[in-house]
Chain A
Amino acid sequence: MSSSIFSDGSSKIKTSIQHINSLDEAKFKKLVQRIAEKTGRQNETIFTIDELNKLENAFGLSIDNIKQMIESIEYMFLQSAYHLIKPQILENDLINEQNFDENKAKIFVEQWSANAKEIVERLKTSHIASHSLSDIRWTLDVGITQGSKSKVKRPIAIYEFQLKNEQTKQIENIQTEFNKDELYAFFEKLESIQSQLDTLMT
């Protein structure tokens, strides 16, 4: 009866762990460091094809085995993040349940402690909505004359909302204008959202 947090990993992990245990410690540390930096980033590959080839030579393992190893390490980071596991418990889990070599387990847990906060932050802020607001730009113009009226004094706020489509990474620009009253109403709405946020977070 395994109480490991990695218990729903497949047998691929077992073979990867065997490879890991056979690796040189310094190389393993660098590998884990690199994977920790990239875990949780959406749509980014951890190693390029060139880098994978270099690793093949450095570790003396086939590309498939290397890929499997990288996936397993990433999976372990994601599971650790999912459960927000404490370092000591993680170490015990790796050594006792997963047959990790002690030194390698220590290296892994070290990297986890160092990067946990960032990995969790990245996972927290990853969006699943189709569009998200990526940037806001604005200008304040004053209309002074127009075709239908010879002398006006009309301040206009022009907003450009940049919406990013999460799938295609395309940016759509929406421009809107607000006169003073409209801007004030908009601001009041934003303030009511803020007060809701404040009650939520206390």
Chain B
Amino acid sequence: MPDHRSYQDPFYGWTVPKAISLCVQTLKECSSLPFKAIQELISMSEDQILNEKSSSSSSLEVLMKFSKDYSISIEQLIIIFNGFVQVLRLALKPPAAFLKPDIFKDDLRDLKFSEQIIEAFHNILFGTKHDQLYHVIQDRDRPCLPLLKSFDWNLDVTLTTASLLRCIEPLLFFQFRTNDNRVLTFEVPIKRFNELRYNTALLLKEMEEIDSKQTLKLLET
């Protein structure tokens, strides 16, 4: 069985990222930090990825508390925490099928993390939140055009207008709410509605056919 190092690059890239090497070095310097605290930092880094916006202030509080309790400077704690978050982000970057558990652990050993830490990382990456982590990294952390949050419609029949005594025309109204909080209310002429429907069906068919296109087969993971 050839060593995975001969056919697969380590998950962190060709060279050890500065953030991670600093983290390992600082961990060595802070020997007074008990594993319990390290464990907590590692699960905080998982939170950091999952709940980007809400966790920053609470993590800072925890770091300040550790700094006081174990008389370690806050900068060193931040370096360690940042390193842990980087490890997770880089581990989530390659497709899930590529990074098997033992390859992951070997790579972490090459980085000179202690066995306890390696076990903790392994449990997080392959634990219960595995799917959620991958989903967040893939779908949330990318540039994104506005999404349609809600789409309401109104179909009325115009019976009579100021210009026509007997009319009987359908009147279609849409209201789009996008996730950048715009509300758009507009009338849709029936001709445009038919175009929209036809084009949407066409798009769906094209999307289905993507899987069968030769060039994109290269992206099978």
Contact = CB atoms under 8 A, between A and B. Distances in A.
Interface of A: 40, 78, 81-84, 120, 123-127, 129-136, 138, 140, 142-144, 146-155, 157-158, 161, 163, 174-178, 180, 182-184, 186-187, 189-191, 193-194, 196-197, 200-201
A138 B203 contact: yes
B127 to A, nearest CB: 20
A193 B95 contact: no
A84 B166 contact: yes
Contacts of A131: 184-187
Interface string B140-184: 011011111001010101100101111101101110101000101
Interface stretch (B53-61, B67-75, B114-122, B194-202): B194-202
A189 B151 contact: yes
Contact of B203 (A143, A157, A191, A200): A157
Given A186-B148, A186-B200, A153 B216 contact: yes
A149 B164 contact: no
A200 B157 contact: yes
A196 B155 contact: yes
B186 to A, nearest CB: 4
Given A123-B163, A194-B197, 12 more contacts: A82-B163, A129-B187, A133-B188, A157-B207, A161-B176, A163-B184, A163-B186, A174-B182, A175-B145, A178-B148, A183-B204, A187-B197
Interface stretch (B19-27, B37-45, B76-84, B86-94): B86-94
Contacts, number: 159
Going nearest first, the 10 A-B pairs with the smallest beta carbon separation are A129-B187, A131-B186, A148-B141, A177-B145, A153-B219, A132-B187, A123-B163, A146-B142, A190-B197, A133-B188
A158 B147 CA distance: 10
B100 interface: no
Interface residues of B, number: 57
Contacts of B207: 140, 155, 157, 180, 183
Contact of B146 (A84, A149, A176, A190): A176
A182 B147 contact: yes
Chain A binding surface, main DSSP class? mixed
A135 B189 CA distance: 10
A78 B165 CA distance: 11
Interface of B: 89, 92-95, 137-138, 141-142, 144-148, 151, 153, 155, 157-158, 161, 163-167, 169-170, 172-174, 176, 178, 182, 184-190, 192-193, 195-197, 199-201, 203-204, 206-207, 210, 216, 219-221
B138 A149 contact: yes
A174 B163 contact: no
A174 B95 contact: no
Nearest to B180: A176
B151 A186 contact: yes
Contacts of A186: 148, 151, 200
A84 B176 CA distance: 37
A123 B160 CA distance: 11
Given A132-B189, A142-B210, A155-B207, A200 B170 contact: yes
A175 B172 CA distance: 21
A130 B153 CA distance: 16
B147 A152 contact: no
11 contacts: A123-B161, A130-B186, A133-B189, A136-B195, A142-B210, A148-B93, A148-B142, A151-B94, A154-B138, A157-B203, A178-B147
Nearest to B152: A189
A69 B145 CA distance: 55
Contacts of A161: 176, 184
B170 A201 contact: yes
B174 to A, nearest CB: 7
Contacts of B146: 174-177
